[in-house]
Amino acid sequence: RSANTKFYNIYSEDYQKNQLFKERLNYDFLKAIENHEFCVYFQPKISIQGDNYKLSSAEALVRWIHPELGFISPGMFIPLFEENGNIKILDQYVWRETARKMREWYLKYNIMLPVSINVSRIDMFDPKIVDIITSIAKENEIDPKDLYLEITESGYNNETSQIIGIIDELRSKGFKIEIDDFGSGYSSLNTLATLSFDVLKLDMKFVKDMFKNDKTLKMVGIVSDIAKYLNVKLIAEGVEEKNQLEKLKELKYDIIQGYYFSKPVSSTEFEKFFGKEFK
Ligand code: C2E
Ligand code: MG
Ligand code: MG
Ligand code: MG
């Protein structure tokens, strides 16, 4: 052992930030896909403007349950896989698992719950993207209107015309487009002006700070006006407190996602939400 080699405890934060850890994740990726180490969690989205709070849909969120490294959160590996292109393989895996689960729930509960899947900006530049998503829906007898594709606004600045084309094609097949993390990118208003979409999801940072400063609260309200003007559904994510929920309801937000109702949970745990009342 050379003197300058540093040894890490694989569970330590130090190690997880380390280059070796990243290389390990990249190295283990294909084996992990084969061994089904990736697992899809679901977080409920609750519609709040009716008489009762109701389960309206869910977001599919990937987790990696690594046999040696344990539970790894997507914030750790998604950026790595976006860098080396593995994200395309991972996302297709997640979308397929999600569609299968939707079908399974339909057969078991007679409910076709709309679900949103995350689509990386890298996926959007794959010329086969429309065919891939279409065939995943078809294989599982999912009506495209029940699949929401969450895309983030950042990263499309130089390639907008290509992205506009793909989004239009997806929407013409019936898939729904949801703008994720709205407000956090560097061209938010440009996104609204150039892309066509169905749902707007406010970045959770605004929810977190809405009672910390008046301007943020004002912005949260203005986004609601924008959504009404554009005639799109409006979601707030990262809602943890009752006072946030109540304010967002007053501001006419349609759907709430956040720990206040539930963290993302395994598909089995998620089943307890069917028919449950939310308060
Ligand atoms: P996102 O799409 O914006 O997903 C929302 C994130 O916020 C999730 O983190 C969720 O667990 C978290 N969250 C929800 N409610 C609350 C709350 O009340 N408080 C707090 N503090 N957090 C809340 P997660 O699951 O760790 O995912 C992080 C990001 O990783 C996602 O952000 C998304 O950008 C990406 N991601 C996750 N799964 C996939 C996937 O299958 N494919 C792709 N391409 N990206 C994914
Ligand atoms: Mg998302
Ligand atoms: Mg988000
Ligand atoms: Mg995000």
Residue 61 CA, ligand 1 centroid: distance in Å: 6
Per-residue CA distances from 200 to 135, 151, 188, 253 (Å): 26, 10, 11, 10
pTM score above 0.90: yes
CA of 265 to the centre of ligand 4 (A): 18
Q: Give Cα separations from 175 to 44, 134, 137 (angstroms).
A: 20, 9, 10
Q: Name the strand (E) or helix (H) holding 57.
A: strand 54-66
Closest CA to 78 of 6, 8, 181: 181
Q: In the numeric block, which tokens belong to residue 222?
A: 């203005």
Q: Assess contact for 195 and 170: CB atoms under 8 A.
A: no
Q: Beta strands of 75-223 (E only): which ranges?
A: 115-118, 147-152, 176-182, 199-202
Closest residue by CA, ligand 1 atom 17: 238
DSSP 8-state code for residue 12: S
Taking only the tens of pLDDT, the chain with its 279 residues reads 444 445 556 666 665 567 888 999 999 999 999 999 999 999 999 999 998 999 999 999 999 999 999 999 999 999 999 999 999 999 999 999 999 999 999 999 999 999 999 999 999 999 999 999 999 999 999 999 999 999 987 766 667 788 899 999 999 999 999 999 999 877 788 888 889 999 999 999 999 999 999 999 999 999 999 999 999 999 999 999 999 999 999 999 999 999 999 999 999 999 999 988 888
Long-range contacts: 182-191, Cβ < 8 Å, 24+? 182/153, 182/223, 183/219, 183/223, 184/152, 184/153, 184/154, 185/152, 185/153, 185/154, 185/155, 186/154, 186/157, 187/153, 187/154, 187/156, 187/157, 188/153, 190/157, 191/153, 191/156
DSSP symbol at 178: E
Mind listing the pLDDT tens digit for each residue in 39-85?
999 999 999 999 899 999 999 999 999 999 999 999 999 999 999 99
Take atom 38 of ligand 1 and give the residue whose Cα is closest. 61
User: Is the Cβ atom of 120 under 6 angstroms away from ligand 1?
Assistant: yes
Specify the pairing of strand 70-72 against strand 54-66.
antiparallel
Grouping H, G, I as helix, E, B as strand and the rest as coil, residue 40 is strand
Question: For residue 107, how far is its CA from the centre of ligand 4 (angstroms)?
Answer: 31
Evaluate: CB of 97 within 6 angstroms of ligand 1: no
Q: Are 149 and 177 in contact (CB under 8 A)?
A: yes
**Residue 275 phi, psi (nearest 5):** 80, 0
Strands 199-202 and 115-118 turn out to be: unpaired
